[in-house]
Amino acid sequence: MATSVSADVNDGSQTSASTVSADNTISSSSAVTLSSSSSENSGVGTVDSSSSSNITNANNSDTDVANSSSATTGTNMVSSVSDVKSSSNSVATSDLGNVSDEQASTAKAYAASAYAASGADQVITRVDATATVDNGWTTESGVQYYYQNGQKANGYINDGSNWYLFKDGVRQSDVQEWAGTYYYFDHNTYLRVDNAYMKSNWGDYYLFGSDGRVATDVQKWAGTYYYFDHNTFLRVDNAYMKSNWGSYYLFGPNGSIQTEVQKWAGTYYYFDRYTYLRRTNAYLKSQWGDYYLFGSDGRIATDVQKWAGTYYYFDHHTYLRVDNKYVKSNWGNWYLFKSDGRIASGWYTYGYSSYYFNPNTYLLEKVVSSKASGEVDGWTIGDPMRPQVAAVDISSYQSGLTQANYNTLKSLGVKTVIVKLTEGTTYNNPYAANQIKQAEAAGLNVAVYDYAKFNSMSTAASEANYMVAYLEKYGISKSTTIIADMEDTSTYSSTVAQDLNQFWSTLNVSGYTAHVVYTYVSYKYRDAVVSTVGQNNTWIAQYPYSPLVNTTWNSSYGAWQVSSQAYIPGYSGNVDVSVDYNGLLANM
């Protein structure tokens, strides 16, 4: 294939005739000649076409465009007019190689000037910048093109060394559509990228598999599994997806497949660590060590549930199995779940109390206490059937309590010990200091009370001052809660509210400002004494015969003293015990 372009020298350009063979080399006829037999008027010769076939390269041989080192540009193409003059009538030959039209035009202008000055023939050879090849690479205007069968290549083609995707002869990069799918081609090497998670020009990431194709559905990558959308090819996050083979899997916020306990759609599920499948009807250990029950639909279970031939209870908030507790089911019935979590059936004994549960319904039918006393039965602190004890109150009658007994109270969930400090203006508990010390050593909160005897404002002030003397003697903190025990009939007075307020005011002067009233339901002036602190700061007493967990009397008050016949494991004497409704006792 050969191409020729010509121009009149008088227009400031030279004629260029280039012949390029199929193997992309210059032939011997690829020359421009300026000779003395040209134009007679211009002083600058025209192309002598008759001589061009007789003038060749200096070496009279073909030149490989791709490897030619003789191509020159600018003023290097023809050195100077003076250099040409010195050569007299010899032929001046310049091989330009593959240069642009602008560079060739500059060379022609120099050749024209040289010819005008010397009269010597000028021969310029070049490879036409617009020349094409049948098969192979060429550079056009600084851009590499690949030809196939004389046309700029299109498609996925091997150039003899590597495979590239071509469009109009140019190698493609980044995400490209080909043969009905998408591939990624490196921006530097233009080679197809396999087994890689790549960022596209528009910012999205895609996974390309071992054959280079863009990946969809469940795919393994970087040691785990991900899911890629079948339409957008993007990674899917926070979704429960069906795979090509029909199984469902959960993918988390970073797209990775999830295992063990996971939250999804407002509840929790368990996904097997090896198969990644949702588990059903199973009691499973979580990644943090706790066990949970998952039902037939895979959801985490709560409330009463049948498992392994019996029944268990699972907390509605923590989802953990509940042990040693008498609890209310979703349908309203109460059931006892023992230390191993199993539902109680038949006789169950704890401490001084025994209970009988119907073997068919599991409902409580009978309570028997071996420590019944008068109108109340005796029971043991820690009994799951009985109220949860928040506080015990003691006086000199419990002087035999040891440090171990206080430690036991702490282990059973008791929060506070309330110690009798004074009574009237003539008595102080001689064991109070030691009782306070031991309770604090066990990590229990401590409050103190005065068994009130006053019946006027003046006697109330005196009683408060008497109490302050022992508060200060024992170094009791001013932040300690002070309780006025208003139960003795000697305090009965129509002015009892004013009297009690005087008691509080006197304590305030000494800096003891945290006040609670203790009284009982049938106290004659109950409402009057309650009014001095309010119901939330009132601790009220009333003893049912056999209180249970679901016995919740006097819940409008801050706390309720539920029994005077409770027992500490390891201690033979009884203590008063109370439940807390609003943190009044627990936070003292």
pLDDT at 131: 52
pLDDT tens digits for range 131-149: 557 899 999 999 999 999 9
**Does residue 37 surpass a pLDDT of 80?**
no
pLDDT tens digits for range 388-425: 999 999 999 999 999 999 999 999 999 999 999 999 99
pLDDT tens digits for range 274-319: 999 999 999 999 999 999 999 999 999 999 999 999 999 999 999 9
Q: Work out the angle between the directed axes of helices 496-509 and 457-473 (0-180°, nearest 10).
A: 30
**Does residue 155 surpass a pLDDT of 70?**
yes
Provide mean pLDDT across the span 475-498. 98
DSSP state of 554: T
**Does residue 18 surpass a pLDDT of 50?**
no
**Does residue 327 surpass a pLDDT of 70?**
yes
**Does residue 154 surpass a pLDDT of 60?**
yes
**Does residue 86 surpass a pLDDT of 50?**
no
Give the DSSP per-residue string, 78-91. Answer: S--HHHHHTTTTSP
**Does residue 351 surpass a pLDDT of 60?**
yes
Backbone angles phi, psi at 380, to 5 degrees: -105, 135
pLDDT at 248: 98
**Does residue 96 surpass a pLDDT of 50?**
yes
pLDDT at 82: 39
Q: Give CA–CA dist 433/421, Å, rounded.
A: 9
The sign of the torsion formed by the CA atoms of 64, 70, 72, 78 equals negative
The sign of the torsion formed by the CA atoms of 228, 230, 232, 238 equals negative
pLDDT at 124: 77
Q: In this prediction, what percent of the chain has a pLDDT beyond 90?
A: 76
**Does residue 49 surpass a pLDDT of 50?**
no
Provide mean pLDDT across the span 189-204. 98
Provide mean pLDDT across the span 22-51. 35
Provide mean pLDDT across the span 77-102. 54
pLDDT at 417: 98
**Does residue 227 surpass a pLDDT of 90?**
yes
Q: In this prediction, what percent of the chain has a pLDDT beyond 70?
A: 82
Give the DSSP per-residue string, 201-269. Answer: TTS-EEEE-TTSPBP-EEEEETTEEEEE-TTT-PBP-SEEEE-TTS-EEEE-TTSPBP-EEEEETTEEE
Q: How many CB atoms lie within 10 A of CB 184?
A: 24
Provide mean pLDDT across the span 96-111. 76
**Does residue 44 surpass a pLDDT of 50?**
no
**Does residue 101 surpass a pLDDT of 80?**
no
**Does residue 46 surpass a pLDDT of 90?**
no
pLDDT at 368: 95
Q: How many CB atoms lie within 10 A of CB 164?
A: 21
pLDDT at 286: 98
Does the pTM exceed 0.85? no
Provide mean pLDDT across the span 7-33. 36
